[in-house]
């Protein structure tokens, strides 16, 4: 028989065991594994990919020429002003920095906004665009008198569904994108809007639709406004890319301003992540256009009550930067120019991607690439093609084949277009990864023309690809064009004044070397232009600069497009400007001996500043990227690359004009507009923009329809004006470079 003491001990032990067991089981043991984010998950997969030539086009962030994060100069200046002001770190208040919210409202609704003048706009700072959506969704759920459902387009930004669902709203969809035409399903959209229950809340992308890049025209927006008014629907605008669509912040805000002018009350979400590059600062705003100033006060009070338990007060640093950019007149003008430059650069990237895909021999229709707008593009690739690109080509895009046009370094060259081309036209074919040969020291001297694959003799490996895309086709298909690295030796016996290169017999375009390069130990390394099996286009006039006493590889290999990577510097190498040689296709000449060794920026810019055809501020930004103020090889390569590009484009325009091909003329105008804008060639750019609009059967402003015959006549006149101005620009820039 157990004693009471022994029973007590035993019961105590059992309780201890139970308690230990309870402590061993985590409170979160049954939390399920969630799926990866549809967009940000691509970055994680990209980081995990070990492929040497992997490319990530999945996450929407603007990049510079090297694929690095880019901070706008106006933003840098504004931040310096904020820091120099030595401001405190006190709370801004629930609705944020007043100077910022006021400026954000003016940017969206316009300086002449009647709603602002009548004090009918309730606005609060938000945690970027996502925070604005969350505030707006919660406000609709609490106070909208109709159904608690919001209708979003198909497709829409991946986060829209999650944000609104977490607000307690039911999310339904309406037709927007036509996968067959890779364009707007306008008829389907209008039909669905008409079929919605009276007084529905409808989400509309104000500009640069994410993820398709397909926007309605202004006339279509007017029709959408009429349909919304007839149905008594409430417009809920998401404007995350103001300025990124057309390069004009006013034009991109047209839908919002038109709806207000038609008597709509509406909600608006703004983000400054893209158009100011303030991704990590999380700067945004949410506003509601009310019926009266009295109603605005009541809405303001409820917005504060809603925000208080969410995050209490928004951060101030990013808002102060944005406020400075928007409220400082000089900085604001600079920023507007930078936004225009980024938008034009994206337009350029679209044209380059389409052009490169076509030059690779693709039979697929890629016209939707240039008809879409903004950072996003629906390629039309299928899910299985996307999987192949990610797994075999190390090219990461978002779901449904959407790349972001964010930087020049991939889409403007052959790597990404080559890989997309293989999927767009090569379904069912097998492609394998090939090793890359990029180390010039691996190449040995050349004694004759290659007889096998380009570059095979140089490194002894026929399977290597020399500085090319990572894809090699199966033997059944010829591989796409690629650049090649070779090592050239000077010919020992000069002919006349120059010596032919031993590889000259291999290419239609002959490369020459100066006769002073006769010793076998003297050699140069040259990256040849892109070439195919049958020809080597002479699209690089300037290939290499060498000092005859210091034969070193030029720090920047040539490119076959306007936007190559910025050159690396050559530390410790000092050159005498008067004894440099210029190695060019078809000919080689020595720089004039009386060329001054050193030139000041002021003297060099005198030619440019005296010209009304070139924006000196934009051109100065190009010059600032030169490593050496003497030879200016980086800016020179961009300028001369533009010359080659312009000559080719003018020829194509002449042919398109003869063929009365307005669509082609519009595309060519679009393409050359972006190139000329990058250099600040304002008159050429403006003329090309007119041709782009005429090609769409619109007037020069792009707003009024014109008959075809008149558009063709206008293009002929405008093309003549552009050429006349281009001749002046070319002469001025060549004088600048002493050529």
Active site residues: 157, 238, 274
Whether residue 285 contacts residue 132, with contact meaning beta carbons closer than 8 Å, is answered with yes
Cis amide leading into 155 (omega within 30) = yes
399: closest CA among 382, 413, 374, 418? 382
Q: Tokens for 488?
A: 């050239």
DSSP state of 407: -
| Cα→Cα distances 527→241, 418, 466, 487, 543, Å | 39, 19, 10, 9, 8
Q: Tokens for 303?
A: 């917005």
320: closest CA among 283, 353, 289? 283
Helix (H, G, I), strand (E, B) or coil at 144: coil
In this structure, the strands spanning 465-466 and 436-437 are: parallel
CA pair distance 479, 469, nearest whole angstrom: 10
Whether residue 630 contacts residue 333, with contact meaning beta carbons closer than 8 Å, is answered with no
CA pair distance 676, 727, nearest whole angstrom: 13
DSSP state of 529: E
Whether residue 729 contacts residue 614, with contact meaning beta carbons closer than 8 Å, is answered with yes
Packing angle of the helix pair 662-679, 329-359 (nearest 10 deg): 130
Whether residue 530 contacts residue 537, with contact meaning beta carbons closer than 8 Å, is answered with yes
Cis amide leading into 604 (omega within 30) = no
**Cα Rg of the chain (Å, integer):** 30
Q: b/e map of 492-530 (b: 16 or more CB within 10 Å)?
A: eebeeeebbbbbbebbebbbbbbbbbeeeeebbbbbbbb
């Amino acid at each position: 028989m157990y004693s009471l003491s022994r029973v007590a001990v035993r019961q105590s032990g059992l309780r201890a065991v139970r308690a230990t067991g309870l402590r061993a089981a985590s409170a979160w043991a049954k939390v399920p594994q969630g799926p990866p984010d549809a967009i940000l998950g691509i970055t994680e997969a990209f980081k995990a990919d070990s492929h040497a030539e992997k490319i990530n086009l999945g996450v929407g962030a603007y990049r510079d020429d090297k694929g690095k994060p880019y901070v706008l100069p106006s933003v840098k200046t504004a931040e310096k002003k904020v820091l120099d002001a030595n401001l405190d770190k006190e709370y801004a208040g629930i609705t944020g920095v007043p100077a910022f919210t006021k400026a954000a409202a003016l940017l969206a609704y316009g300086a002449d906004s009647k709603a602002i003048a009548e004090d009918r706009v309730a606005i609060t700072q938000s945690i970027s665009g996502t925070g604005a959506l969350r505030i707006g969704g919660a406000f609709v759920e609490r106070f909208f008198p109709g159904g608690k459902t919001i209708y979003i387009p198909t497709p829409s930004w991946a986060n829209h569904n999650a944000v609104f669902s977490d607000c307690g709203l039911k999310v339904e969809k309406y037709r927007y994108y036509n996968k067959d035409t890779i364009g707007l399903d306008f008829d389907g959209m209008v039909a669905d809007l008409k079929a919605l229950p009276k007084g529905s809340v409808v989400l509309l992308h104000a500009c640069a639709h994410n993820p398709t890049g397909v926007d309605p025209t202004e006339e279509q927006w007017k029709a959408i406004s009429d349909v919304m008014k007839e149905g008594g629907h409430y417009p809920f605008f998401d404007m995350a890319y103001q300025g990124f669509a057309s390069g004009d912040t006013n034009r991109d805000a047209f839908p919002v301003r038109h709806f207000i002018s038609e008597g709509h009350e509406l909600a608006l979400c703004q983000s400054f992540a893209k158009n100011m590059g303030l991704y990590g600062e999380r700067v945004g705003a949410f506003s509601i256009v009310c019926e009266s100033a009295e109603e605005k006060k009541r809405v303001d009070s409820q917005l504060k009550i809603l925000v208080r338990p969410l995050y209490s007060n928004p951060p101030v640093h990013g808002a102060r930067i944005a406020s400075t950019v928007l409220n400082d007149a000089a900085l604001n003008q600079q920023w507007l120019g930078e936004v225009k430059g980024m938008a034009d650069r994206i337009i350029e990237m679209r044209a380059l991607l389409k052009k490169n895909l076509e030059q690779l021999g693709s039979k697929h229709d890629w016209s939707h690439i240039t008809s879409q707008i903004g950072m996003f593009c629906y390629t039309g690739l299928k899910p299985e093609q996307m999987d192949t690109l990610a797994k075999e080509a190390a090219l990461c895009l978002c779901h449904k084949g959407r790349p972001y046009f964010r930087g020049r370094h991939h889409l403007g060259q052959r790597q990404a277009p080559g890989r997309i081309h293989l999927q767009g036209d090569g379904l069912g074919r097998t492609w394998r990864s090939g090793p890359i040969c990029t180390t010039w020291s691996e190449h040995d001297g050349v004694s004759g023309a290659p007889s096998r694959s380009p570059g095979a003799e140089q490194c002894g490996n026929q399977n290597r690809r020399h500085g090319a895309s990572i894809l090699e086709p199966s033997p059944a298909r010829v591989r796409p064009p690629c650049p090649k690295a070779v090592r050239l030796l000077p010919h020992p016996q000069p002919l006349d004044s120059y010596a032919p290169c031993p590889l000259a017999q291999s290419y239609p375009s002959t490369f020459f070397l100066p006769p002073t390069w006769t010793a076998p130990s003297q050699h140069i390394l040259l990256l040849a232009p892109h070439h195919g099996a049958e020809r080597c286009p002479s699209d690089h006039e300037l290939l290499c600069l060498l000092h005859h006493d210091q034969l070193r590889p030029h720090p920047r290999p040539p490119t076959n497009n306007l936007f190559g990577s910025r050159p690396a510097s050559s530390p410790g190498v000092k050159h005498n400007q008067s004894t440099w040689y210029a190695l060019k296709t078809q000919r080689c000449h020595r720089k004039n001996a009386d060329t001054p060794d050193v030139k000041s920026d002021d003297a060099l810019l005198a030619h440019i500043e005296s010209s009304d055809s070139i924006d000196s501020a934009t051109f100065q930004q190009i010059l600032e990227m030169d490593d050496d103020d003497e030879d200016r090889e980086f800016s020179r390569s961009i300028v001369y690359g533009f010359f080659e590009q312009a000559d080719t484009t003018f020829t194509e325009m002449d042919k398109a004009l003869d063929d009365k091909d307005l669509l082609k003329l519009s595309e060519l105008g679009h393409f050359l507009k972006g190139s000329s804008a990058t250099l600040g060639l304002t008159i050429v750019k403006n003329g090309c923009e007119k041709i782009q609009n005429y090609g769409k059967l619109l007037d020069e402003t792009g707003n009024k329809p014109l008959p075809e015959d008149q558009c063709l006549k206008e293009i002929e006149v405008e093309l003549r004006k552009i050429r006349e101005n281009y001749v002046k620009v070319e002469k001025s820039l060549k004088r600048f470079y002493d050529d």
